[in-house]
Amino acid sequence: MATIKPFKAVRPFPEKAQDVAALPYDVYNREEAAIAARGKLDSFLRVDRPETTLDPRIKINDPFVYETARKNLEKLFHRNALTQDTNDCLYIYELVMDGRSQVGLVVCTAIDEYLDNTIKKHELTRADKEEDRIKHVDACNANTGPIFLTYRAQDAINEMIGTWQKEHEPVYDFISEDGITHRAWVVDDEAVINGLVEKFGDVKSLYIADGHHRSASAVKVGLMRREANPNYTGDEEFNYFLSVLFPDEQLYIMDYNRVVKDLNGLSVEVFLDTLSEKFDIEARGAEPVKPPQKGSFGLYVDGKWYLLTVKEGVYDPTDPVNSLDVAILQNNILVPILGIGDIRTDKRIDFVGGIRGLKELERRANDDMALAFSMYPTSIEELMNIADADLLMPPKSTWFEPKLRSGLFIHNLD
């Protein structure tokens, strides 16, 4: 069963919500984050990416960066941008993109349920990225970015959340710069809170959709606090971390595409000839290729697009991991032909979220890379099946849209 806990959220005053709300820290590189935060004194990027407010010569992992994050969080209180609720509440968070709505419940989830795999994972994490967020959470004494979790939808939960939305006005209702509508409600009725807590007790598992590094870091900070407080009871806030729970039926996974630095010493002709052993290849010229179905890929190289379709017998369709398109590409092209080493760390490969479009793949392949692959999206059912089997997906298998905003809900660890 899944445990959810109400909490006293730190959150923006309604008139400040749009100014505070920011995209997650990890969708930007340092330069992009600095541009996004420039001149926006209330932007939560100044907390999540504090280096944006510092001399660019300062290294991202300098202790001063994490101290700056804490100070920038305090400044948002001084600027009357943030406040804290006085009572434990749950919160409803709705995002609308291109007319499609997804409605989540903002809660705290238990670090013990992360550890006992009630909260299921599907990706490995990198130690350096974990260490960054551990230091950030510890310095801020707060979970500053929500973990995006999903669960198999239940009508009773949908009905309770939908009823509250209909009967109450949202505390936030704004459209962000990228056209996404954000609405939020405060659930402050004890009976409704208890009812939702009870209903989630019937949910067998929660699944990390996005935020593996944030969740792993939040759990490790909680364990550090336990070690520092050996008489802890389990009720302290550091035993829980900030999450938003969405039913699986509402989620939208986009393609997560790949760009590669070079052809590993091969000519385009030899590369295509090698591909033809396992893929049918159809030349498409200048027309960008969006893969039409599972097992198909777009390839952009030397100014031209190709449609690749994997041949029968190349992979085992009953294997939940190796039958993923990202695994087919990795196992049959990226590693054996292009010589990519560790997909998570090799500097010759980069990953481009589908929200950026196919033209971004062309731009990268014509600029700092040599070729690009457009992907067919992984399904939410594939993700959940792999997590249920305690297996791991290849890195960068999923790109969820719309992105949750940081700064709308913050969970203090005291």
The answer to the question of residue 382 being in a domain is: no
On whether both 89 and 237 belong to a single domain, the answer is yes
pLDDT at 270: 98
Q: What pLDDT is stored for residue 124 in this prediction?
A: 85
Answer yes or no: is 199 within a domain. yes
Position 33 confidence tier, pLDDT thresholds 50, 70, 90: confident
Whether 367 shows a pLDDT value over 90: the answer reads yes
DSSP string, 292-361: -STTEEEEEETTEEEEEEEPTTSS-TT-TTTTSHHHHHIIIIITTTT----TTT-TTEEEEEGGG-HHHH
pLDDT confidence bin for 181, thresholds 50/70/90 = very high
Query: Dihedral sign, CA of 309, 314, 316, 319?
Result: negative
Q: What is the CA radius of gyration of the chain?
A: 22
pLDDT score recorded for residue 52: 87
Name 53's Cβ contacts closer than 8 Å, sequence gap at least 6: 37, 46, 68, 72
- Asked whether 95 and 402 are in contact (CB, 8 A), the reply is yes
> Which range marks the domain in which residue 144 is found?
4-253+401-412
According to the model, what pLDDT value does residue 296 have?
A: 98
Assess if residue 297 is contained within a domain: yes
Quick one: 130 and 226 in the same domain?
yes
Average pLDDT over residues 118-141: 93
Mean pLDDT of 49-76: 93
Give the strand pairing for 304-310 and 296-301.
Answer: antiparallel
Average pLDDT, integer, range 11-36: 92
Q: How far apart are CA 25 and CA 406, in angstroms?
A: 8
Please report whether residue 381 resides in a domain.
no
Residue with more model confidence, 270 or 29: 270
Residue 389 located in a structural domain = no
Of 25, 238, 243, the closest CA to residue 133 belongs to: 25
Residue bearing the bigger pLDDT, 344 or 63: 63
- Looking at the chain, the whole-number percentage of residues with pLDDT higher than 90 is 91
Report DSSP letters for 376-401, one per residue.
PPPPHHHHHHHHHTT--PPSS--EES
On the question of pLDDT at 390 being above 90, the answer is yes
| 301, pLDDT greater than 90 | yes
Whether 79 and 216 map to the same domain: the answer is yes
pLDDT at residue 341 in the model: 87
In degrees to the nearest 10, what's the CA dihedral of 139, 142, 147, 149? 150
Mean pLDDT of the chain: 96
The pLDDT of residue 410: 98
214 shares a domain with 172 = yes
Q: Examine residue 99 and state whether it is found in any structural domain, yes or no.
A: yes
330 inside domain: yes
Neighbouring-strand partners of residue 297 = 308
Question: What would the pLDDT profile of 398-410 be if each residue is shown by its tens digit?
Answer: 999 999 999 999 9
342, pLDDT greater than 90: no
**Are 232 and 318 within one domain?**
no
pLDDT range class, residue 144, cuts 50, 70, 90: very high
If one counts the domains in the chain, the total is 2
CB 404 within 8 A of CB 146: yes
Residues 161 and 237 in one domain: yes
What residues does 187 pair with on adjacent strands?
Answer: 90
Report residue 324's pLDDT band, with 50, 70 and 90 as the boundaries.
Answer: very high
Tokens of 102: 């997804």
Whether residues 85 and 142 share a domain: the answer is yes
Residue 113 has pLDDT above 90, yes or no: yes
Residue 195 has pLDDT above 90, yes or no: yes
Banded pLDDT at 173 (limits 50, 70, 90): very high
Domain check: are 89 and 78 in the same one?
yes
In-domain check, residue 172: yes
241 and 271 housed in the same domain? no
Question: What pLDDT is attached to residue 414?
Answer: 94
Given pLDDT bands bounded at 50, 70 and 90, which one contains residue 60?
Answer: confident
Judge if 177 and 320 occupy the same domain: no
Task: Please check whether residues 73 and 162 belong to one and the same domain.
Answer: yes
Do 345 and 208 lie in one domain? The reply is no
